[in-house]
Amino acid sequence: MLDILSIASRNLLRYRRRSMLTLLLIVIGMVAVLLFVAVAGSFKTMMVGQITDSVLGHLQVHRKGYVASIENLPLNLNLRPPVVAKVEEALKANPAVESWSPRVKFGGMFSNFAETTSIRINGIDPEREATTTPLLPGRMTEGDKDGALVGRGQIVIPQLLARGMKTKVGDTVVIVATNRDGSVNGKTFVVRGIMEGVTGPGGRDGYIHIGDARDLLRMTEAEVSEIAVRLKDFSQLGKVDAQIKQALEGVTNKEGKPMLEVHDWTQLSPFANIAKMIDLMTLFIKIMLVSIVLVAVMNVMIMAVFERIREIGTIAAIGMPPARILALFLAEGLMLGVSGTIAGIAFSLVAIFGINLWQPTFNFGMQQNLVMAPTIAAGDVLTIAAMVIIVAILASLQPAWKASRMDPITALRHV
Amino acid sequence: MSLLSAQNVTKTYRVGDIDVPAIKGVDFAIEPGAFVAFVGPSGSGKSTLLNMIGCLDHPTSGTLKVLDTDIATLDRHAAAKFRGEHIGFVFQDFNLIPVLTVFENVEYPLRMVQKWPLEKRRAQTMRLLAAVGMADQADKRPDQISGGQKQRVAVARALVSQPKLVLADEPTANLDHDTAYRILELMKTMRDEFNTTFVFSTHDPKIMGEAEVTFTLEDGRLQDGGSHA
């Protein structure tokens, strides 16, 4: 094998410029793909992190049908305490779950005593919410960021609403809401802080204490609209999602049908489509890399066979077995692929390191100057490297096969 | 026992719808250690016959035995193995591999075909290079040596794996007369030293006189049973 690799390397150096150009193409392709995977991966991770860690959590548990009517925030689909207890029991039993936070959500009217507008209220347990969506307090642009996000009698209002209603931190406002029975109730709150929206300027979500929410809605028991769940390891999402679904299957209604539904963040946010788009673009970039390697290596190997027909005839005549001729040309393709891969990985890692030193920033929604910190997993590097090497070998296969099947007499007569 | 024997060997090529006979029923035998020439004008069938003797082609009919092996029974892989073990080739255009040095060209059959161990093949390569007077040129590439030197290297390459038979198709066609004679002298010396049978083809009347046994081919037929010098 070493003899074949040694001769193959000499053959590649025979047409130094052509081999270098082919290597360059592979290197450029590798660098493009690895950089794209690193940068897009960093952007995607940051985007997903913003959405899950400051709004949704990784998973949410609702009563069946709630998500289908989520725009209406239906109070009649809240979870009652016995069901909440069962959910909490299942979550507690799963070691992959880090924390969960119950929420009461409803639509109401926001009044500053001069004007009135609509608002979506999230009644939260501030301590549990801070462990489930740890980036939520960081979205507060005005007001004291330290301490609990909201206390009893306090409200955090969205930036858009604060501007439109000319409301400041410390102002007193009224929230009016209709409860499940249709009766209207109001309650005054002091503005604790102003929060920027994660998904753009259209956010209308305000936050109050879950106890205040229940008081306002005149709930007689500790109902919950949804339970947001945070996992210890986000990469285990699919597995834990399935486990929790299975654990909650036994919670049934009077008809004996499952009464709960579990959704992961991708089913709850339109930004999941952007994440999918990034994955799709990554796939297309990989396909482009495969095409570049395939065409470049195949071209150089076809030329190599064509230019060395008499040489192939000679080595076949002196008794070199067809399999060894095949191996010789495959080795040339393999060496092109391996050299290009090693150089491509080296240049890519240097470029990724350079970007991390440079620290370019970007904006996402209302989040400004997020620092891009591209990283690439060893698994991604190995996958792409293996892909390039395999494609390089496959691209050499046809020319190598042709060389090994060549009739020595015809080859020796070739001019 | 003969090293080579042919009984009523024919070779016919199909060109379109037409059968073109290249060899028309030849019979001959060649003894071990012989220095044999197949002579004749271009198109007489010399190369076709040498290709069949070299297991590069099969006869259309008849029996051609090389080292007691009927070459018609050898498939592509077996023929390659047989050639690697028993037959050396010298080509008209030398056919040295341009990216390899003289040493590496001679070493090639031992390295890539026979897979000799490193030390043994290096010693054998140097022995052959010394025998053909090219030891001092071992590190040069083919484009750095003359045509005569290239053919010496080709002879060394043909002999390095210690074959029983060396086939040379017009080995002197691309050489001037003096060099051609020296190459034939070298081949004879090598035959004496290694007891290898040399079979070559030529259409040059001056060169054919150097052979100890001459078979004359004309229009695919042998004109004599092999004349001895």
Instruction: Indicate the domain borders of chain B.
Output: 32-60+70-222
Closest-CA distance of chain A to residue B80, Å: 4
**CA–CA distance, B219 with B44 (Å, rounded to integer):** 5
Quick one: which of A392, A317, A312, A292 has its CA closest to A31? A292
Among B66, B71, B95, the strongest candidate for a mutation testing the A interface, having the largest count of A CBs within 10 A, is B95
Q: For A254-293, give one letter per residue: b (16+ CB within 10 A) or e.
A: eeeeebbbbbbbbebbebbebbeebeeebeebbeebbebb
The predicted complex's ipTM stands at 0.90
High-pLDDT (> 90) share of chain B, %: 57
| Average pLDDT, integer, range A86-99 | 95
The pLDDT score that the predictor gives to residue A48 is: 87
pLDDT value for A366: 59
What would the pLDDT profile of A177-194 be if each residue is shown by its tens digit?
A: 998 888 899 999 999 999
Check pLDDT > 60 for residue A202. no
How much of chain A, in percent, has pLDDT values that exceed 70?
98
pLDDT at B193: 86
CB proximity A414 to B under 8 Å: no
- What are the beta bridge partners of residue A258? A252
Please determine, for residue A199, whether its predicted confidence score (pLDDT) is greater than 80: no
Q: What is the pLDDT of residue B3?
A: 86
Q: At residue B227, does pLDDT exceed 70?
A: no
Report the C-alpha gap between A412 and B170 in whole angstroms. Answer: 13
Three-state SS annotation for A256-307? CCECEEEEEHHHCCCHHHHHHHHHHHHHHHHHHHHHHHHHHHHHHHHHHHHH
Lowest mean pLDDT, pick from A101-115, A362-376, B168-182, B201-215: A362-376
**Closest chain B CA to residue A309:** B95
* Percent of chain B surpassing pLDDT 70: 98
State whether residue A322 sits within 8 Å of chain B by CB. yes
**DSSP H/E element including A388:** helix A378-404
Architecture of domain B32-60+70-222: 3-Layer(aba) Sandwich (3.40)
Amino acid in the structure at residue B145: I
- B50 vs B212: CA distance, rounded Å: 17
Question: What per-residue confidence (pLDDT) applies to B228?
Answer: 65
Distance from CA of B229 to the nearest CA of A (A): 30
Question: Which one is predicted more confidently, A198 or A3?
Answer: A3
- How confident is the prediction for chain B on average, in pLDDT? 90
pLDDT attached to residue A3: 86
Residue A372 C-alpha, separation from nearest chain B C-alpha, in angstroms: 49
Segment A396-402 shows an average pLDDT of: 94
Mean pLDDT on B83-93: 91
Contacts of B98 in chain A (CB under 8 A): 14
Specify the pLDDT at position A365.
62
Q: Which of B198, B148, B197, B156 is nearest to B173 (CA)?
A: B148
Q: Is the pLDDT reported for residue A367 higher than 70?
A: no
Q: Does A73 contact B at CB distance below 8 Å?
A: no
Please, what is the average pLDDT of chain A? 90
CB-nearest partner of B100 from A10, A313, A322: A10
| Smallest CA–CA distance from A16 into chain B, residue | B99
Please give the Cα distance from A145 to A336 (Å, whole number): 57
Read off the pLDDT band of A345 (50, 70, 90). very high
B112–A7 C-beta distance less than 8 A: yes
According to the model, what pLDDT value does residue B229 have? 61
Across the interface, of B93, B99, B113, the residue whose CB is closest to A10 is B99
**Cβ atoms of B147 and B107 closer than 8 Å:** no
- Give the H/E segment covering residue A385: helix A378-404
Examine the pLDDT at B28 and tell me if it is beyond 70. yes
pLDDT tens digits for range B2-22: 889 999 999 999 888 898 999
- List, in sequence order, the alpha helices (H) in chain B: 46-53, 76-86, 102-108, 118-131, 147-159, 177-194, 205-208
What pLDDT does B194 receive? Answer: 84
At A123, the pLDDT band (50, 70, 90 cuts) reads: very high
Distance CA A117, CA A106 (A): 14
Arithmetic mean of pLDDT, B128-138:
90
Mean pLDDT calculated for residue range B212-223? 89
